[in-house]
Amino acid sequence: MTGIGALAITHSLVSVAQKQAGSAAAKKLFVYVGTYTGAVGNGGSGDGIYLYEMNRQSGELSLVKLAAKAESPSCLAVHPSQKFLYTTNEVTDFPSSHGKSGSVSAYAIDPENGDLKLLNKVSSEGPGPTHLSVDRSGKYVLVANYDGGSVAVLPILASGELGAATDFQQDAGSIGSRQSTSAPRPNFAISGHDRPHAHMVQPSPDNRFVLYTDLAQDRIAIFRFGTSTGKLSSSEKMPYAQLPSGDGPRHFAFHPNGHWLYSIQEEASTVVFFQYDSETGELTSQQTISTLPKGFQGTSFSSEILVSPDGRFLFAANRLHDTIAVFAIGTTGRLTSRGETSTLGDYPTGLSIDPSGRFLYACDLRSDCIACFKIDRKTGVLNFTGSYTGVGSPNSIVFVS
């Protein structure tokens, strides 16, 4: 090939690459924020699900509209196809076969403008649904009912609508102590050790197991997942992983490698690192580390936990202390503290990282705002971008492009 011909081909390839990059940059990145409304507890100042557009360069969120007026859509999850959005409605008065319950709503997403169209609403099969996720196949929504101490499996129909539950699991039995075993002293972080409280449910990376936390029972339950039937069966090898009494496991996060799991304890303000066996579902504890500064005395409630998309860092939110703890993840999965960053707001309940892995958002529930931080990709340190987004009682953030 002549030099001129090679140059022409190279120029053509560069032009195609530039066009593709420009197209990707021009494509809108929609951001949906779930909030608490006056429908739950002491109420909230949100009105439903808000739609924003994200500036991919600065991280700033620009309000488009209130996309859906809804009762306390506190937790959001996007279907793998990005065509549908699902949300809990954290209420206790929706009729169901198990008595009064909360509900789960299904929405269709308009890919052009981000508008949401309500498809249907079904029972969550228990009161106070606080968390939901979509399984890896996109066939089921899994929902955890905090007030009911139960989880349910809801099938996703071809239309994106939800069907009646294919399975239901009710937690029963002993609960942990009112006072946390592992919390710093003195400490008055006392929350849910009165009856079972399922707090989070999510499938394993390979979709073979479903794991969920029960805060009051201080355990992570492990079930085999029948994706053809939507049924859960207790794991023969290890039906659950037990945490110290009173510590209150709240949320967990898998590492991108699929073999490490990190659990955050609400009342203990700790992160426990587990080795995860993908063949048996077994969790083996490797390390426990505090989310609070060394020497801390007082009360704080940990809330959310995230692993960065590149698997190098872990972030954990502390309510009352109002910080995000930053940890480096070593080659064996063990954590090393990199300090804490103020959330610059009150009571951070939710954290989210954008698809690029560059920006972290903290939902400061009681100060009605979302703070945006840029993640230092070398150190994990969080730097405030100067961007505050005012929104009533924010709790959950998801992205759709």
* 251 closest CA partner among 292, 192, 211: 211
Q: How confident is the model at residue 4 (pLDDT cuts 50, 70, 90)?
A: very low
Cβ atoms of residues 88 and 104 within 8 Å: yes
* Integer Cα distance of 22 and 44 in angstroms: 40
Cβ atoms of residues 129 and 88 within 8 Å: yes
Residue 370 dihedral angles phi and psi, to the nearest 5°: -120, 125
* 293 closest CA partner among 337, 255, 250, 355: 337
Per DSSP (E only), the strands in 55-163 are 61-69, 76-78, 84-96, 99-109, 116-123, 129-134, 140-145, 150-155
* Integer Cα distance of 353 and 307 in angstroms: 9
* 226 closest CA partner among 209, 205, 204, 243: 209
Mean pLDDT (the chain) is 92
* 96 closest CA partner among 148, 33, 39, 52: 148
pLDDT digits (tens, 9 = 90+) for 53-78: 999 999 999 999 999 999 999 999 99
* Integer Cα distance of 111 and 123 in angstroms: 27
Domains of the chain with bracketed CATH: 82-165 (no CATH), 171-342 (2.130.10.10)
Task: List 257's β-bridge partners, or say none.
Answer: none
Cβ atoms of residues 328 and 377 within 8 Å: no
The pLDDT of 141-163, averaged and rounded, is 97
pLDDT given at position 298: 87
pTM over 0.85: yes
Q: How confident is the model at residue 7 (pLDDT cuts 50, 70, 90)?
A: very low
Widest CA span of the chain, in angstroms? 79
Q: How confident is the model at residue 8 (pLDDT cuts 50, 70, 90)?
A: very low
Residue type at 367?
S
Using the Cα atoms of residue 295, residue 299, residue 300 and residue 301 in order, give the sign of their dihedral: positive
- The pLDDT of residue 285 is above 60: yes
pLDDT digits (tens, 9 = 90+) for 93-145: 898 877 789 999 999 999 999 999 999 999 999 999 999 999 999 999 999 99
pLDDT given at position 39: 61
Cβ atoms of residues 278 and 287 within 8 Å: no
Cβ atoms of residues 358 and 387 within 8 Å: no
Task: List 128's β-bridge partners, or say none.
Answer: none
Tokens of 34: 């779930």
pLDDT digits (tens, 9 = 90+) for 31-41: 999 999 986 55
Helix %, strand %, coil % for the chain, to 5? 5, 50, 45
